[in-house]
Amino acid sequence: MTTSNDRLDRIEALVEKNAQAIDQLTDGLGQFNQRLDNYEQGMRWVVQLAFALLISATVALVINATAFLVKLWLSA
C-alpha cells in the first residue's frame, strides 16, 4: 500500500509540475500574441504613412506640372 501511495504522490507531483509548466506557456503565449498584435498595428501604420507620402508626392508633382503647363500655355 505504501508503494502505491508513493507512486500516487509522485504522479500527483508530476501532474502539478506539468500544470505549472502549461500555465507558464499559456502566459508566454499571451504575451507573444500581444507583441505580435502591436507589431502588426505598427506595420499597418507604417504602410499607411508610406502610401500617404506617395500620394501627396504624386499630387504635388501633378500640381507643379499643371502649373508649369498653364504658364507655358499662357506665355505662348
Identity at 47, one-letter amino acid code = V
Identity at 60, one-letter amino acid code = A
Instruction: Quote the cell numbers at residue 32.
Output: 507573444
The share of the chain scoring above pLDDT 90, in percent, equals: 86
pLDDT of residue 76: 72
- pTM, two decimals, is 0.62
**Distances from the Cα of 60 to the Cα of 9, 54, 68, 76, angstroms:** 76, 10, 12, 24
Q: Is the pLDDT of residue 59 over 70?
A: yes
CA 53/CA 58 separation, integer angstroms: 8
Mean pLDDT for all residues in the chain: 94
Q: Is the pLDDT of residue 1 over 70?
A: no
Instruction: Give the 3-state secondary structure of residue 76.
Output: coil
pLDDT digits (tens, 9 = 90+) for 21-46: 999 999 999 999 999 999 999 999 99
